[in-house]
Structure 1
Amino acid sequence: MSEFVVTTLLIVSLFALLGSGVWIGLTLAGVAWIGMELFSPRPAGDAMAITIWGSASSWTLTALPLFVWMGEILFRTKLSESMFKGLAPWVNALPGRLLHTNILGCTIFAAVSGSSAATCATIGKMSIPELSKRGYPADKIVGSLGGASTLGLLIPPSIIMIVYGVAAEVSIAKLFMAGVVPGLLLGALFSGYIMVWALFNPSQVPLSDTRLTLAQKLVESRHLIPVVLLIGGVIGTIYTGIATATEAAAVGVVGALVLSAAQGSLTWATFRDSLLGATRLYCMIALILSGAAFLTLAMGYIGLPRHLAEYVTGLNLSPVVLIIALALFYMLLGCFLDGISMIVLTMGVILPTVSAAGIDLIWFGVFVVIVVEMAQITPPVGFNLFVLQGMTKREITWIAKVTIPYFFLMVLALALLWWFPQIATWLPGRM
């Protein structure tokens, strides 16, 4: 049976299960089961059990529930309110006002977690209630959060960059350096879009409460001290080598508990509610991760990613056309696979072609990560869309719609990266 027929059947199965109201994680596992039973000699039951157990018992993923719990603690105590009090005076002068806290918060937290899902869940737990309470439009709150949270993959430390660095045999330290400027560029593009939207839609932006002098803004910035100490502690333990990302996540939880206790907002009720809230949210994420892992395994056995990669390689394209084709290829794969799986399943075939075309592998690593970021907010398997759906209870189609502008801003970033490759290569070249 041709790859086109197999792909069509799996897509139809995916939408049929999603449309019938089956949980997303179970839907992904169900499509994988169908694929393995019909198109692979491997027994589906045995493969599913091993894959789901491996996904659930991953030590690396331990950081995710810890960061989610940290976000819950911040959300249920005075720390999230303090962050907004500290940021508000500085962003209130910008068109779009407090919507920029989503961009700033995700940019900062991306340097802590290395995961777009953790960034989305943690910042979302703080920003969605606060911005909604202040009367900001729901589509702009969720859209800016969905777009900016993808920075968790690009701004170091990034788990996906480590995977690419191992696959491409390039310096992971240089990859980390290469992701800094493009990450800040994307953050600037996101904030720029919010400003343009606000200038054309001033009536939809809540008015600023007060106008403060510079001295008053500095005084209000004292509210940022607890959150800055927390973020600084987590980042510091990672970059000094004292702790791994997982251990730093535990530092973040302990720090959040200590700071909220010092502020007098930590009670048994808030502790219990934060723990239960984190458990519920992570269970939803973990089920999706398990389903995605099983779907990735099924795709590998069926051979679809490999066949698609070989097809692209066999076209003998010029460098610019090759980059466009690879962007489209990874966007297509991103509809069905998570980012790490996309890299693991295709790099062996793609890298020789990229090297032969004279494309710098450090630059290509940044390119791939941005394309994977785009896949995080594209249906039907955009992982950040599912995380946002779990937090907002909105329809996945509505969430995908409000994140579309950020998808096209990433396309613009890719174009800038092609025209000005120094955006990615200048900083690692200084090492």
Structure 2
Amino acid sequence: MAVIVSTLLLFLLLVLGSGVWVGLSLMGTGVTMVSLFRDIPIDKLLPQYFFNVLTTSELVALPLFVIMGEFLFRTRLSRSLFNGLAPWMGFLPGRLLHINIVGCSIFAAISGSSAATTQVVGRISLTELLRRGYSRDIAIGSLAGAGTLGFLIPPSTVMIIYGVLAEESVLRLFTAGFLPGILLAILFMGMIVLRTSLKPDMIPESERQLRNVSMAKRFAALKELAPAVFLILLVLGSMYGGIATPSEAAAVGVFGAILVSAVQGGLSFGAFRDIALSSMQTCSMIGLIIVGATVLGNVTSFLGIASHMADYVASLELSPFMLILALTCIYLVLGCFLEGFSMIVTTLPVVLPLVTAAGFDKVWFGVFLVIVVELAQITPPVGFNLFVIQGVTGDGIGYITRVTIPFVAVMLAFIAFLATFPEFVMWLPTLLFG
């Protein structure tokens, strides 16, 4: 078995390192391993894998949420979020820096994408915060941390992928992400309060005094949040109101995004063409990776790798907490070389049997894995959110990584909390679904 595992890892690292697409790398590794170690007609099984995976009903929601995010990327939603939140954030310690956190939380509840959340909110909030004289370090660092909430707060594209691969209810996963997403956002805001209290000069002198904004003006500003609230109610309300499945709610969300784009003047023939092309490229890439991961996952089952790894970990007699600690360390290392989505599809076939054997619920592990993937989004050299922020600000990756470290520490502490109190994640889905 050691020879089989070593050959698999060596071949996979070789093809990934050579620049071959992730989906083709996973599929090629699976086909090669079967050819070397088993006499299985993999050429006849491949079409079946393609059909079974790509026709999964839960997967229909994924391209729809991608299209929805593309529409929203081309609207003035980010400007509306800033204008609507600014009068309400000004009385908090840290002042307008909290717009990064709250704005990302709201947009995360619409788009389901971490990169889209970071880019849409960052385009306006960073420009405005830096123009007003806020510390560049904490403005960029808080945006990098908060942008990852796009994967945790439902609807989440990563949770859809995990639900399909783990054969778990996507709606239960969405529900489980609510409370952790809200708490993590609050912890990010707490970090802003702590750092600005210790270093008041992070906030410009002109912003340190509490401005006397009347309640009338604050409530008047809420109209700027109307498009975002409309979309949240449309998507999440239709799901939890029992009106639509996650896939149907995604279709409703696309319709809402088109309406918002039309009202805000973001629709044109050129925009439709760009949205169609970008969505097609993204969905094709994701579909290929999912099929490749399915092939590799089935091959690991054929070869007995998953059961062997489960037996090996069981022989170590690790406590559940130590197992999660070990997996966290492994994923942190992987996150330096693979983007988060690839991490899930590459490791899930082997890791999921281990955590379920240790007594963890698949829904809980899905939330844990999403948070670890969020960490991968802000760890170099393949931290995708870091590249997004670099594109917005023009700063170097090293600098952006350094100012993000306090928010990485918050996420690590949060993972430890969830491992210690898993019932926090499971409370809401248990309450709603039993």
Letter in 2 for 1:216: K
Return the match for 1:127 from 121, 133, 158.
121
- 2:119–2:388 CA contact under 8 A, matched in 1: no
Alpha-carbon distance change, 287 to 152 in structure 1, aligned in 2, over 3 angstroms: farther
Residue by residue over 1:132-172, the C-alpha shift from the partner in whole angstroms, topping out at 9 and shown as x without a partner, is 543466952662255323314799995478679967xxx99
| Cα distance between partner residues in 2 of 1:24 and 1:156 | 18
Q: Does 1:237 align with 2:238?
A: yes
- 1:386–1:396 CA contact under 8 A, matched in 2: no
**Gapped regions of structure 2 (runs ≥ 5):** 131-135
Alpha-carbon distance change, 99 to 322 in structure 1, aligned in 2, over 3 angstroms: same
Report deviation, 1:223: 0.5
Q: Which residue of 2 aligns with 1:357?
A: none
Name the TM-score, length of structure 1 as normaliser: 0.73
Report deviation, 1:102: 4.8
Report deviation, 1:245: 1.4
Report deviation, 1:401: 7.5
Name the TM-score, length of structure 2 as normaliser: 0.72
Residue by residue over 1:257-302, the C-alpha shift from the partner in whole angstroms, topping out at 9 and shown as x without a partner, is 2233234443334333333343344444444444444443444444
Alpha-carbon distance change, 339 to 387 in structure 1, aligned in 2, over 3 angstroms: same
Residue by residue over 1:291-343, the C-alpha shift from the partner in whole angstroms, topping out at 9 and shown as x without a partner, is 444443444444433322221122334xxx33212442476379486547866
Q: Which residue of 1 aligns with 2:297?
A: 296
Letter in 2 for 1:239: Y
Q: Which residue of 2 aligns with 1:247?
A: 248
- 1:367–1:414 CA contact under 8 A, matched in 2: no
Q: Which residue of 2 aligns with 1:143?
A: 144
| Cα distance between partner residues in 1 of 2:53 and 2:172 | 29
- 2:114–2:148 CA contact under 8 A, matched in 1: no
- Percent identity over the alignment is 33
| Cα distance between partner residues in 2 of 1:328 and 1:292 | 23
Q: Which residue of 1 aligns with 2:412?
A: 411
- Of 236-245 and 147-156, deviating more is 147-156
How many residue pairs were aligned?
410
| Cα distance between partner residues in 2 of 1:396 and 1:417 | 30
Question: Secondary structure of 1:241's partner?
Answer: coil
Alpha-carbon distance change, 57 to 124 in structure 1, aligned in 2, over 3 angstroms: farther
- Of 154-163 and 65-74, deviating more is 154-163
- Of 232-241 and 39-48, deviating more is 39-48
Letter in 1 for 2:117: I
Question: Secondary structure of 1:187's partner?
Answer: helix
Alpha-carbon distance change, 271 to 353 in structure 1, aligned in 2, over 3 angstroms: closer
Q: Which residue of 2 aligns with 1:423?
A: 424
Question: Secondary structure of 1:243's partner?
Answer: coil
Letter in 1 for 2:67: W
- 1:281–1:390 CA contact under 8 A, matched in 2: no
- 1:71–1:122 CA contact under 8 A, matched in 2: yes
Alpha-carbon distance change, 370 to 75 in structure 1, aligned in 2, over 3 angstroms: same
Q: Does 1:193 align with 2:191?
A: yes
Q: Which residue of 1 aligns with 2:81?
A: 83
**Gapped regions of structure 1 (runs ≥ 5):** 355-360
Q: Which residue of 1 aligns with 2:262?
A: 261
| Cα distance between partner residues in 2 of 1:26 and 1:386 | 21
| Cα distance between partner residues in 1 of 2:390 and 2:45 | 33
| Cα distance between partner residues in 1 of 2:45 and 2:126 | 44
